Amino acid sequence: MLRRTVFIGLALAAASPLAILSLRSEASSPAIAVAAPAGPSWKVDYANSRLGFVGEQTGKAFQGKFRKFEATIVFDPDNPATARIDVTVDMTSAVTGDKQRDSALPGSDWFKAKEFPVARYVARSVEKKPDGSYVAEGDLTIRGVTRRVPLPFTLTLDGKKATAKGEASLIRSDFGVGQGEFADATWVGLGVKVTIDLRATR
């Protein structure tokens, strides 16, 4: 067992607000079946998009990202109540720039990726706020545990280009992430922030 190894990131969160969006990560994975709706189809600029996370280990913040994720999103900015967002994240693809930490994350103390290879986020509703931002309420499943997670985000449209940015706050222990000596905040903070920065064109 690697001591002081961190859990970070969930999926995510990657629920970006674009009309029809099929996200593909650095390595392609099977598409999620979603009925084709009316509306523009968006292509993600992968080089400039990111599904990231921020955690804390021994009192120091660190950042990471998921290299493999895919989402199918149906979203009309003027009618968010009709949105459908379904995101999967490859839990073996988390990287933080620390070899010890990265090798431990898929293990049984953390993501337990052999048994639960993907995390999934399914939005149940999306609401537009008075300030023009949005909040998705969805079910996030990690390690077989499902919790309702809100994801506030903003959407910027510029002609045929769109940028979605947002972040969600999670407690890793709510999903059973961090077992044994890592179950509390002694070595690894319980709070995790998931961040999205997605760019697309139609």
pLDDT digits over 178-202, tens only? Answer: 999 999 999 999 999 999 998 877 7
| Domains of the chain, residue spans | 20-182+190-201
Question: pLDDT, tens digit, for every residue of 8-53?
Answer: 343 344 344 443 344 444 444 444 444 444 456 667 788 888 999 9
**Residue 5, pLDDT above cutoff 70:** no
Q: Report the candidate in 101, 81, 92 with the shortest Cα–Cα distance to residue 187.
A: 101
CA neighbours within 13 Å on the CB side: how many for 1? 11
Q: How far apart are CA 23 and CA 43, in angstroms?
A: 8
CATH superfamily of 20-182+190-201: Lipid/polyisoprenoid-binding, YceI-like (2.40.128.110)
Higher-scoring residue by pLDDT: 108, 2: 108
- Across the range 62-91, mean pLDDT stands at 87
Q: How far apart are CA 91 and CA 83, in angstroms?
A: 25
Give the pLDDT band of residue 111 (cuts 50, 70, 90). Answer: very high
Question: Which contiguous run of DSSP H or E holds residue 168?
Answer: strand 161-171
> What's residue 143's pLDDT?
97
Displacement of CA 68 from its chain's centroid (Å): 11
Please give the share of the chain, as a percent, with pLDDT higher than 90: 59
